[in-house]
Amino acid sequence: MSLQFVHAHDCSEKQKDAVWGAQWTSKDQVVSISADGSVKLWDCTSGQTVQERPAHPRGITSLSVSPSGEHVLYNSLEGLTSLWDLSNGEVVGTHESFVRTAGEQTEPAWSVSLHPNGETYASTGGLGCVTIRSAQKDNFGQHLTKLESGRVKFGMCVSYSPDGSRVAFSSESGQIYIFDLTSNALTATYTSHAVTVRSFAWSADSQLLLSGSDDKRLMLHDVRVSPSGKPGSGAVASLVGHSSWVLSTSISPDGKLALSGSADKTVKVWDLSARAAVSTISHPNEVWAVSWRPQAAPGSNGSFVTGADDGVLRWWRGAGAA
């Protein structure tokens, strides 16, 4: 089986450096972060910038958008975490995670994730653990909980499950850890990759987790939890086909298709039930960001946006869709 996706358009103006992250929001806009320090909000039909933050002197490494599409959490290379409210364009709070505070073993944040309810955010970095901090306006960045994996390996990517009950993070050495947030306990560790996992994505129903690694593969994990507390069956499929590192992943809103961006300068679309690539789209550069449109047009295979090392955002839509 193969699916066709057509290139709709590019962003009106390319970034000065690589696009490091992009997310298609529920308000049908795209937020992007770049190595040039910019954070921008784009219109999906025109590809024009709607809003942007003044460029930070260093690159922005991590991005997380609230389910409402109104709040944007982002983090810079040195660990400055900021929350941006799109409804009024203001910055709700910033936290300098690189500043050492007494009595608290801290690490500069590398990757961040905003809780679906917007009350907290999670961060990971050099110490290989997840730190939960407040995302409220009055005490933004206040340390709440620390979840330890027991290993000191650089945390590459952290993300709350869409239902908000769990948080997962992946490390430089390839492990993926899942913590339960009611008990704050480590519930599962997956060692399906032996090298860096740069990115992973939850399915919308919080039952699947797709990870992409420097080992060129993507692994699909069944992360369901039965009422008895017994974890799901773990790694259930490996998606092989990229010829270099997998840099970004995203699962379609209906959970049927997945996207992966790679250093081999392609984007692949995968059929998760057939466990095979159904489309390969070439890019001029490494693809650091992929994101599905949260609401697919009826009858179409969906639309998505990609961000590449050349600083260009590209919009794609399933052939046959209007």
Partner 1 sequence: MLTEESETGYCQEIQPMLNVAESMDVFGNENVEDGDDEDGFAEEGPDRESKRLESIELLENLALSFLSQLNNALSERDRDEHDDDQDATNAKGRKRHISLELADRTYRSQCRTLQFPKRSKGPSIKPIAQLLRVVDLSHEALVNDAPVTKRDIYYRDVALFKSQAIVNSLVDDLAATIDVTRADLNIRASAKGLFCGSCLRLSLHNGDEIWGQDFEPSLIPVGEEIANFKFVENVSWVLIVEKDAVFQTLCGSGFARNESLPGRGLLITGKGYPDVATRQLVKALSDNLPSTIPIMALVDADPYGIDIALTYKYGSKSMKHQNEGLAARRVQWMGVSAADIFEMGIDRDAMLPITVHDHKKALSMLCSPDIPLTGSLRHELTQMLHTRRKAEIEVIASARQSNSGGQASGSKPVNPLLRYLEQKISKWLALFSSLEHRMVE
Interface with partner 1 (CB under 8 A), residue from 20, 74, 84, 315: 20
Helix (H, G, I), strand (E, B) or coil at 124: strand
Size of the site for partner 1 (CB under 8 A): 18
How far is residue 48's CA from residue 46's CA, in Å, rounded to a whole number?
5
> Is residue 154 near partner 1 by the rule CB under 8 A?
yes
Nearest distance, CB of residue 56 and partner 1, angstroms: 11
> Is residue 77 near partner 1 by the rule CB under 8 A?
yes
User: Which CB atom, from 76 or from 279, has the smaller least distance to partner 1?
Assistant: 76
Question: Contacts with partner 1 in 174-203 (CB under 8 A)?
Answer: 196
Question: Contacts with partner 1 in 27-56 (CB under 8 A)?
Answer: 35
Contact 42, 11 (CB under 8 A): yes
Interface with partner 1 (CB under 8 A), residue from 28, 70, 85, 172: 172
Contact 303, 294 (CB under 8 A): no
> Is residue 58 near partner 1 by the rule CB under 8 A?
yes
User: Which CB atom, from 175 or from 301, has the smaller least distance to partner 1?
Assistant: 175
Binding string, residues 239-258; x marks residues near partner 1 by CB under 8 A: -----xx-------------
> Is residue 148 near partner 1 by the rule CB under 8 A?
no
> Is residue 123 near partner 1 by the rule CB under 8 A?
no
Half-sphere CA count of 79, side-chain side, radius 13 A:
19
Q: How far is CA 219 from the centre of its chain?
A: 16
Nearest distance, CB of residue 111 and partner 1, angstroms: 12
Of 115, 162, 130, the residue nearest 292 (C-alpha): 162
Nearest distance, CB of residue 244 and partner 1, angstroms: 6
- List of residues 6+ apart from 77 with CB closer than 8 A: 58, 59, 60, 61
Nearest distance, CB of residue 6 and partner 1, angstroms: 29
Extract long-range pairs of 123-126: CB within 8 Å, 24+ residues apart: 123/75, 123/81, 123/97, 123/158, 124/155, 124/156, 124/157, 124/158, 124/169, 125/79, 125/97, 125/154, 125/155, 126/154, 126/155
Question: Contacts with partner 1 in 255-284 (CB under 8 A)?
Answer: 263
> Residue 224 is which amino acid?
R
Question: Contacts with partner 1 in 82-111 (CB under 8 A)?
Answer: 108
Nearest distance, CB of residue 42 and partner 1, angstroms: 22
How far is residue 271's CA from residue 87's CA, in Å, rounded to a whole number?
36
Interface with partner 1 (CB under 8 A), residue from 9, 26, 59, 85: 59
Per DSSP, the residues of 241-292 read --SS-EEEEEE-TTSSEEEEEETTSEEEEEETTTTEEEEEEE-SS-EEEEEE
Per CB under 8 A, residues contacting partner 1 are: 17-18, 20, 35, 58-59, 61, 77-78, 108, 126, 154, 172, 196, 214, 244-245, 263
